Amino acid sequence: MRRSDEALAAKDPNLALSEAQLAAEATALLSPYPDRGYARIEALAQDAEARGDDEGAEAAWRAMRTAQIATKGPLVDTRARRVHAEQALARIGTRHLLIDAARIPGSARLGEAELRARIARDPTPPSAAFAILGAGAALFAASAAALALEGPRLPRGPGLRMALGAALGVGLVALALARLF
């Protein structure tokens, strides 16, 4: 945040935004910097909007959304910030579309709600898919290794359980890959 403060003092809002985004993405247990980074990003965005600088405001709101996507996880809840940023991006985008529609006949006429829905699409895969992938791979590896090392010497019951474990592992990997792609 110190670098963001210095950039603001030097009248460099782009560098201040970049440093604030880094702070917002610095998620560590009990760290004050993510909250400060998000607050700085929001202040820069609101300041740019108040000045009529849509390009600067859009950059700041995108930085907030990007920081949220980069740090989202089961222990970090920044969804409200992302929704706030997406609403602002839709508001700015709708204004641009209305201006374009007035100048260019036949141009796209999306409403703010539809634009917000398009912006809100999240291309990042769910964390659960990675957990399932890891569990399936571990189950398959352990079962296959045990089966390869001990299989010929095992009675029918344990050998069958290991084979089923390997098959279940492959199934979990396939399920995870289907969710990821």
| pLDDT score of 69 | 86
| Domain limits for position 19 | 2-120
Q: Are residues 81 and 148 in the same domain?
A: no
User: What's the rounded Cα separation, in Å, for the pair 7 and 16?
Assistant: 5
pLDDT given at position 5: 92
- Kindly report the pTM of this predicted structure: 0.65
> What pLDDT does 154 receive?
66
Residues 96 and 27 grouped into a single domain? yes
94/157 same-domain check: no
Query: How high is the pLDDT of residue 12?
Result: 93
Distance CA 72, CA 79 (A): 8
Residues 20 and 99 placed together within one structural domain of the fold: yes
Give how far Cα 145 sits from Cα of 56, 136, 141, 153, 168, Å. Answer: 56, 14, 6, 14, 14
Verify that 14 and 78 share a domain, yes or no.
yes
Q: Name the phi and psi angles at 47, rounded to 5.
A: -65, -45
Alpha helices for 10-103 (secondary structure H): 13-24, 33-50, 54-71, 79-103
pLDDT tens digit at each of 181 positions of the chain: 899 999 999 999 999 999 999 999 988 878 889 999 999 999 999 999 999 999 999 999 999 999 988 888 766 777 889 889 999 999 998 888 877 777 777 766 767 778 777 777 776 777 778 888 889 999 999 888 887 887 667 677 777 778 888 888 999 889 888 877 7
pLDDT at position 152, please? 66
Domain total of the chain: 2
Compute how many other C-beta atoms are within 10 angstroms of the C-beta atom of residue 51.
10
Residue 110 in contact with residue 94, Cβ under 8 Å? Answer: yes
Looking at the DSSP bridge assignments, the partners of residue 73 are 76
**148 and 95 in a common domain:** no
Please tell me whether residues 10 and 61 are part of one structural domain.
yes
CB 84 within 8 A of CB 57: no
> 148 and 101: one domain?
no
